[in-house]
């Protein structure tokens, strides 16, 4: 096998891995949208429709904290998706100009490290906010069960 064929195989393998990785990120972000949006819709709808009666201060505090956390999770997920789109556009527009030869001789297109760090931070905080929001909504729901006969 020639060196060119080895490079081509390595590049194809990398591209397949990158596509699979991006698909997993998309799935995770869509799950965050679904979970956060669903919980927000259900709980806010219950308050608007007046289906909840006596709510303790603790339950109300947990529910409101959950709403803020889940809302922040949605905003950060949108931000992460937007940054991913910018990164792909940046990669596509500068495909030739941003290549370099790494230690193995392959050409790799890179976005700036600071940009990748921001994407990882927004995505990670979004996930964390979703988890925190779910914990607070569960705590608030637990408080409601003890309050409502």
Place of tokens 């608030």: 140
pLDDT digit string (tens) for 66-122?
Answer: 999 999 999 999 998 888 888 777 776 665 554 555 556 555 566 778 888 888 899
Mean pLDDT of the chain: 78
CA 129 – CA 101 distance, rounded (Å):
39
Nearest C-alpha neighbor of 131 from the set 32, 34, 41, 45:
32
pLDDT digit string (tens) for 13-25?
Answer: 777 777 888 888 8
């Amino acid at each position: 096998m020639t060196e060119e064929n080895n490079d081509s195989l390595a590049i194809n393998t990398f591209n397949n891995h990158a596509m699979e990785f991006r698909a997993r990120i998309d799935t995770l972000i869509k799950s965050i949208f679904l979970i956060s949006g669903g919980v927000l819709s259900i709980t806010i709808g219950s308050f608007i429709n007046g289906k909840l009666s006596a709510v303790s201060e603790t339950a109300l505090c947990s529910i409101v904290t959950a709403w803020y956390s889940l809302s922040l999770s949605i905003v950060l997920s949108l931000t992460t998706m937007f940054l991913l789109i910018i990164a792909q556009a940046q990669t596509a527009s500068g495909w030739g100009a941003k290549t370099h030869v790494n230690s193995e001789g392959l050409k790799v297109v890179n976005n700036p490290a600071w940009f990748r760090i921001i994407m990882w931070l927004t995505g990670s905080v979004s996930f964390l906010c979703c988890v925190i929001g779910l914990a607070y909504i569960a705590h608030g729901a637990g408080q409601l069960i003890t309050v409502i006969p």
